[in-house]
Structure formats: structure tokens, C-alpha cells
Structure 1
Amino acid sequence: MSSSEHELMWLQLLQTPARGAVPLQLQLRTALVNAILDGRLQAGLCLPSGRELAALVDVSRNTVVLVYDRLVADGYLEARPRDGYYVCGSIARANVTRVNASAAPGTPDWSAKIHPPSTQFRWLDRPQDWQKYRYPFIFGQFDPKLFPLSDWRECSRQALGVAAVESWAQDGTGGDSAQLIEQLIRRVLPRRGIAARPDQILLTLGTQHGLYLLGELFADAGTVVGVENPGYMDARNIFSRQAARVLPLPVDESGLKVSSQLAECKYIYCTPSHQCPTGVTMSTDRRIALLNHASQHDQVIFEDDYDPETQYLGQPLPALKAIDKCDRVIYLSSLSKLLSPGLRIGYIVAPTPVIEQLRLLRRLMIRQAPGNNQVAAAFFIQQGHYDRLLHQTRHVLSSRAAVLADALTRRMPNAGFTIPSGGSSVWLRLSGSPDLAALRAACLARGVLFDPGEPFFQEQMTVPYIRLGFSSIPIERIKPGIEELSNALDASSRHFLRAYRHT
């Protein structure tokens, strides 16, 4: 093989590592291991010298030597003194034995066997690559720039210590991290006015997982479950999946209304802290009236404490659970919204008999929640990082809320909204009768993302609403993003008028 052919072969096998978040050593090691395990580098093959490979893939010679030495230690390469590095012949590659299956009379009719989710479910559909859009006014995502990566990395390192690993790495019997439960009891729940014992708390993979467990435990065919309207569509979907009858409950500027419809419900799902999606906070009088109603009609309330600790104007009201004297409130919340949605750390606070049954259901579903993130989160709270992140997040969200409110007032004066005092979104009522599908398409073309209002309603939306989240958009992009939204709305309205005139 000529020198140029030799170089070309290695360049095809090992692309030049990209300068970025992944260390060069890791990129080079991964490329070599994959080539060995895939059989592209055969056993006994001599690898280029450290100097040669460094020049080929444009990294330092020390990087190559460190990778070679580590692969020797791991058994992928063999170092021959004064000769070089060779692909080790003892690397085992999985070979699947071929079996000639006998002819079968056709494939299953999956449509007849599967009980799929209802096609009537409403979802929030977002582009998978939403991070690439310049103006992501979407809810429920976090700003990576706010995440204290070094602090979380240090807590994760502590969670990987020998003693910590021994506590969470075993296959358990459905228990939870005692460290994290203690921190929830001592540091998190008291801020919501809630006192609880360890046997009254269950950790979940986020609030939605908790809702699914509650739906499985309490809802069955015909059970009447009241859900706010507009409200969180996945709560409605989960209870509908259990064949429950979901009753839409009206919401006003004080939160869930204690209306005549409420008496029909056996269970009531609500978001008192920051109502989803309107963002309103349920008033004290309304909270007391709701608890009294539940007591009089033997009802259970599922309280989803949405964005519970992001109140930046005034003092937050205590959770419903905190003022419930009859144990009728089952409380759900999450650490994920503040830390990171991908961590999936939520929890339920409920009477002990309920927690016992939920624990059994969770064991059937996932056996136990992953322990490493639980322990890391416990260290994160214990060492004060959670409180500092909470303070920083409140400040940032407050600033973004003010900029968003000002931009909407200036650019879209005919739109209706309430200036948020907490949370991370604005529920925006658009003026006129815009074609929302056309508006969304136009906004996508301009790099603007928002959450459409339709999925939050159980029935047809009669007033045009959209939700603008501001947790993941940089503050300097809010004003130009609203300008783009306003321009798209104006263009959509002109298109609608032209089409109307031609009919």
C-alpha cells in the first residue's frame, strides 16, 4: 500500500475530532474502539505511530499516546516494545448464529391486538430541533446558561463515591433515596407550607409520571374526574386513557371556579399555584371554598403545584395541601422545572395508605426510580445550590417577564394578557379572528415558536389564545421575537381579509 493510500485509509477510519464539548481523547478513543469492534481494524494490524496518527487527525502526540496506553490497559491494543501498537487478537466480537426459520402463515394483525391511546388526545407538537429556532417562546424548557453545571457535576461526583454508590446502585424493593426525602421534608416542602413524614412521600419520574400513577390507582370506567378548562391536556389525556369521564371545569381570574359542575366530580385536578395555561393564581377565598366543597361532597383533589417557587412579585400563597385539614389533597410537584426537565425528578405527597398503593404500582411500572440522580439532587439541595439557583431563576424570570410585557404592550396593544407575577409564561388572547394554523406556519418561517392554545381546551377553542413561554429564550431576543410575531400576525390578518373578500 502506498503512503497516500495508507493515509487515506486512516483518514476514512478516523475523522478529525471536532473541537467542542467532547474531549479529543474521548473522540479518538471512541473512533478506534468502534473500528476495532466493527472489524474494520483486524486483529494483528499495526497502528500508525503516535506522531503519525497525531499528524493525520490533527491532534497532539500526547493525546494519541494517552489513548493508545488506555486502550492497551483495556485490552484493545497490544504494545510491542520498539515495534509499535497492534490490534489485540483476543477482543471478542459477537457473532450471531444464523437459523433458518420455518415458513409461518403471516404476521399478526397488530391493529386488532393493540389498545392504542385515543386518537382524540390533544398534544403540544413542537419541532424536535426547537433549540435551533431563534425565538423559542415555549414553556417547560430551561435555559442551559442558568444551570450551575459545575455544582451539579460536583454533586454527581459525590453521588458516585463508593459509599454513595453502595446505597443506590443495588436492585432495591421500591424504596427511595432517604437523603432526597429528607431534603424535601426539610428544605423544599416547608416553602410551600407543607409538613410531611417520609412515609407520606413517593418519588416519581416527574409530575406526569405521578399523574399516571394516580390515574391508574383512582380512575376507572365512568369515574368522573374534573379537569380545569383550559387546563393541562396530559392530565385530561391520562384520565381519559383510564376510561374516566373527564368533566371540563371553568377557570376565571381567580383560578378554578367552584361551580355547580364541581358537585358531579369524584376527583378534581387543578393547578392552584400558577394555573396551566393561564398563569393565574387561585385566590385564598377560592382555595378555602374548594376545600370546603371537597369535604362536603367527599371529593379528593389532585393538586399539581405548577412552577411552585418562581413567584417574583409579592409573596406566594401556601399550597392547597398546606391548608387542607381533612387529608383530601394529594400533592404533586417536581424539581425538574427548576433543575432540568431531563432529570425527571418529581414527587407525590399523600396520606400513607395512598403512598403504599402508589409504591406498589410504581414497582410494577419501573420497579424503582434511578438512584444516582436522587442522591445528586439531595447533595445539590443540602449544599445550598438549589436555593441559589432558585433565587437566580426568580431574578432572571422577573426581568424577562417585564421585557415581554413591555414588548407586547408596544407591539401588540390589542392583544389581551395579564402581566405575570410568577411562573414563566404569558397566556395571550389575540385580537380579531386570525388563522392560527397559518400564523404558526408563518412564525416558524420567521424562527418564532409558541404554544398554540387549542390543546388546552377540552372542546373547540372559541377565542384565539396562544401561550408564550420565556424560560428558555435569552432576554435580548424577546423584543425582536415579539416584533416577528406581530409582523406575522399582521401578514396573516391581511391574508385572511383578502381571502374573505374573494368569497
Structure 2
Amino acid sequence: MLEQLINIDKNASESLKDQIKRAISIAILDERISIHKPLPSSRKLSQALKVSRQTVMFAFEDLVGDGYLIAKSRRGYFANPEILKGTAKVDQTEAPVSQSKPDWQGRFAFTPSHQRNITKPSDWQKYPYPFISGQIDPASFPIAEWRECSKQALNVIAVKDWTSDQLEADDPMLIEQIRSRVLPRRGIWAKAEEILVTVGTQQSLYLLSTLLAGKGKTIAMENPGYPDARNIFCNHFDKVIEQAIDQDGLLINDNLNQADYAYITPSHQWPTSVTMPISRRKHLLKKAVEQDLIILEDDYEIESNYIDEPLPALKSLDIDDRVIYMSSFSKVLAPGLRMGFMVAPKALIDEARVLRRLMMRHPPLNNQRMTALFIARGHYDALIKRLWRVYKNNWHSMNDAIDKYIPTNIKLPVNGGTTSWIKGPDGLNCQILQKKAREQGILIELGDIAFADDSQAKQYFRLGFTVIPNHKIEAGIQKLAALIRELS
């Protein structure tokens, strides 16, 4: 019975007609509908599905237009046998049973799944107190503006630009918008040939590690620091130096003398969110010249210093081409867009571009063009201002609630950002806290994953405030503080 193959969800965003079309087309492709028998009449099917007959008729007509159905006069609608032509036929009943499957575990050069990685619940939106980072409130996404740019990217001229194979080239319009509108906000002036579009900062880190790591090469990074970067570096470099931080970010000392490269997050240190002052930035650049050090600057929160006047990027102070700058639009536009960029000397960008081509040619050009139009039309700047207002209110509410309910926390000099770094009482195990909190509808992020030796950092955790409504912040912190007292 066809109605048994169609599951209707009247609360879904997909229209009823499209749900019916999708179910019937899949059933035809799976050969679960006979080509010799007519489909149930629109009246019978509409009654079985409890939808209007007109909805079913429109679905049938669309399926005829798409080639899935054929209409036969006075006989009804039939599955179109032409739609199945060109499909390889395999008799699964005759498939032999393998007696010699390969040992895949023994073939892996390394196993990244064995590294500890950041995890977040995919159903975070159903929790009343989602103190998580790296997500945006869906209600804040500029749907109308993005749809406008999407339509513009689909006009005849634009389609000719992005549908062709560009090999390793990026969309010139996006490169120009990054060069002239985004980077100057961070004090950076670059030429077009010094910019590469990436699938987020993750790809930038992987490209750089592949190009720059080699036998005997060493990289220093902050400890605590970004675990995804640590995992990438451990898979490429001979040695990763775990460099301590303080309230001003990365410590500049003789440990750096051993390093060929240094990875830092100076604008908002990951995970503490402290900002490296100008004096230390200059000290680091001086050290880089003295020790022939290359610095990888991750400006992951490119537009989130909304409390004080934002400091320019470290790259803006670099006159010796020793800083490679990476950032993305994830924290402003949407993390799922996976649109990032890298700024470096032309010689490095040229090699990174060719390496990227071997991996994936380039990020999808239609997404590049839509992002370029979004920036060019002023939507990007308007969105930043809206987010600043929301995040500033949430930042103040978070700080007030933490000061009130978690007095054991060591307060750091943080201005802006999207998360709060918390040190709980000695003896607190935040893995247990996270589990207990989740049972009460509170999502938090573990802090021990940021440390090279996570066994000594069980009392640290992070609280994001980009998606939780402002009016729920104090109540959520109060509930969390009660759990902390219970577990301490």
C-alpha cells in the first residue's frame, strides 16, 4: 500500500506536497512501486494520508513533470520505467560471503579518532539553559538578507562565474571584500594574492601544518589551548611545546627558543578569552625576529570585542612577514557555512592554494559569491552591530551571575568574547558536573580538554552565551552553582 510508504509530518518545515513527492520518488527508485499497476487515486490517497485531494494532485503533477510518473488516460498514474534506466542491477541473494576482509586497523598510519575531540550535543536547542559556544541563535540569522544575496548569486551572469571549474581560484569578489572591508577592521592591509579562502580555520591549520611541518620541526602553542589545533599539530610536527599563559595570554620566555613556529589566539585566548596587550604583542614579534620564529595567529573571534576599543590584530603590527593570519565568518554569520580565510606572504599562499587544490579544488564558489554579496551590500556590518548589542547584554548578565553565585571563580580581565572560563572549587570533577547539569537541562563545556595534561584540570569548564536567552542566564547559573556545591 502506497500510503504505508509515505510518512506525513504536519509540523515539518517541508510542505505536505513535497513530503508526498519525496516519498513516492524514493519508493519508485527503490522499486517498491510496480510499474504495471496504477497508483491509488488522488481521492483515495488523500483520505488515507488525511490531506487535501488538491495537495495529492499537485504532487502527482510535479512527479509527472520530473519524470517519475506517467499519466495514462482513464487509467491513472503509473511509475515511469524510464526513470530506472541506467541503474545497475545487483542480485543481493547471490552475493558471496567474504572470507578475507582486510585488517583496516592495522593499515591506518594514525588514528585521529583516538584523540580527544570537542563534542557538542546536536539537539542543544531543546535544552532550556544551553551554555555552549560556537553556535548561533537561529533567530539571529539574517534570513531575508541571505535569501536576497542567494537570489543575486543565481542570476545569469553570476551563475556563469561560479558554475565553471576554476581549478584552484577563489571568487574574486569575495577576495576583494575580505581585502577591502573585513581585514581593515582588524588593521590589516593585504594584496589579493596574499589571501586564500578556506573551509574554516580548521582547513587553514591543516594546510599550514602539512606545508610547514617536517622532520625536527617544533611548534609552540598555548596551554590551555585549542584542542583541535593541538590534535592537528601532534599529527604533523615532531614536537609540540605546551607554553603556559597568564592574564595577558601567551608567556614570552626562553621556551620559545626551541620552537620553529608558535600558534596563538591573541585577541581572545582560547579558552580563557583574555586579550594579549600591545606591549606583549610587540615583545612576541621582537622574539620572532631574534629566534627566526613564524607565528600562526588565529583570530577566531574576529568581531567580538564590544566592551572596549578593539585592539588591532597581531598581523597589523608585523613588518617582517612573520605572522600568518587566520580567521573565519563562523562566529558572525554561521558556523555551518564553513567560510574562512588566510592571509600570508604570496609565496606561502601560492603553495597553500595548490595544496588545497589537491584536497578539494576550492570552497564552493556559490557560497563564496553569496558571502561576498552579503558583505558588499552592508549586511555583514549591520549583523555585527546587532550581535554586539545582544552579546554585550549577555556578557554583563553572565559576569554578574557568576560573581553572585560562583564566588570561587578566579576572575580574569576579559573584555567581550562569546564564552566565560570558570575555575570551580578544588576537587570538583566537571565531567560529573556536566552530566548532572545536562539532566537538569543545563549544557556546559568541559575545560580539561584544553589542557595538554587533562588529568590535572577537572575543575575547569566553559560557559557560552551566544544562544541562551538573556532572561535565562541568571537562573541557569544559579542552578549550576547549586550543583557545584552539591558535588564539591
Q: Tell me the TM-score normalised to structure 1 length.
A: 0.92
* 2:69 is aligned with 1:77: yes
* 2:440 is aligned with 1:413: no
- Structure 1 position 316, deviation (Å): 0.5
1:217 to 211, 214, 222: 211
2:345 to 343, 351, 361: 351
What whole-Å deviation, never above 9, does each CA across 1:446-481 have from its counterpart, x for those lacking one? 122211111111124645211111112222222222
Report 1:120-139 matches (<5 A): 121-139=115-133
* 2:437 is aligned with 1:443: yes
Between 477-486 and 40-49, report the one with greater CA deviation. 40-49
CA distance in 2, matches of 1:276, 1:251: 11
Report 1:157-306 matches (<5 A): 157-306=151-300
SS of 2:196's partner is strand
CA distance in 2, matches of 1:140, 1:260: 34
* 2:11 is aligned with 1:19: yes
CA distance in 1, matches of 2:70, 2:112: 57
What whole-Å deviation, never above 9, does each CA across 1:35-84 have from its counterpart, x for those lacking one? 22222221143233334333332323332222221111122222234553
What whole-Å deviation, never above 9, does each CA across 1:433-453 have from its counterpart, x for those lacking one? 212222222112112221111
What do you get for the CA RMSD once the two structures are aligned? 2.0
CA distance in 1, matches of 2:227, 2:164: 36
Aligned residue identity for 2:155: G
1:378 to 367, 372, 389: 372
Other-structure match for 1:496: none
CA distance in 2, matches of 1:156, 1:104: 49
Other-structure match for 2:140: 146
Aligned residue identity for 1:381: I
Native 8 Å contact 1:25 1:64 kept in 2: yes
Other-structure match for 1:500: none
C-alpha change, 1:395 and 1:104, in structure 2 (3 Å) is: closer
Q: Tell me the TM-score normalised to structure 2 length.
A: 0.94
C-alpha change, 1:102 and 1:470, in structure 2 (3 Å) is: closer
CA distance in 2, matches of 1:44, 1:300: 70
Other-structure match for 1:392: 386
Other-structure match for 2:89: 96
Unmatched segments (≥5 aa) in structure 1: 1-8, 494-503
CA distance in 2, matches of 1:225, 1:214: 12
CA distance in 2, matches of 1:435, 1:359: 44
CA distance in 1, matches of 2:422, 2:55: 54
Unmatched segments (≥5 aa) in structure 2: none
SS of 1:433's partner is coil
Other-structure match for 1:4: none
Native 8 Å contact 2:324 2:344 kept in 1: yes
CA distance in 1, matches of 2:80, 2:249: 68
Other-structure match for 1:33: 25
- Structure 1 position 113, deviation (Å): 1.5
Other-structure match for 1:6: none
2:483 to 465, 472, 488: 488
- Structure 1 position 419, deviation (Å): 6.6
Between 378-387 and 444-453, report the one with greater CA deviation. 444-453
CA distance in 2, matches of 1:456, 1:432: 18
C-alpha change, 1:22 and 1:118, in structure 2 (3 Å) is: closer
State the percentage of identical aligned residues.
Answer: 42
CA distance in 2, matches of 1:440, 1:115: 34
- Structure 1 position 165, deviation (Å): 1.9
Report 1:41-80 matches (<5 A): 41-80=33-72
1:473 to 465, 468, 473: 468
What whole-Å deviation, never above 9, does each CA across 1:380-406 have from its counterpart, x for those lacking one? 111111111111111111111111111
Native 8 Å contact 1:401 1:420 kept in 2: no
SS of 2:166's partner is coil
- Structure 1 position 172, deviation (Å): 2.2
CA distance in 1, matches of 2:386, 2:331: 14
CA distance in 1, matches of 2:219, 2:53: 66
- Structure 1 position 98, deviation (Å): 4.6
- Structure 1 position 288, deviation (Å): 0.6
CA distance in 1, matches of 2:296, 2:477: 35
CA distance in 1, matches of 2:79, 2:106: 52
What whole-Å deviation, never above 9, does each CA across 1:344-396 have from its counterpart, x for those lacking one? 00010000000001011111111222111111101111111111111111111
Native 8 Å contact 1:44 1:88 kept in 2: no
C-alpha change, 1:121 and 1:76, in structure 2 (3 Å) is: closer
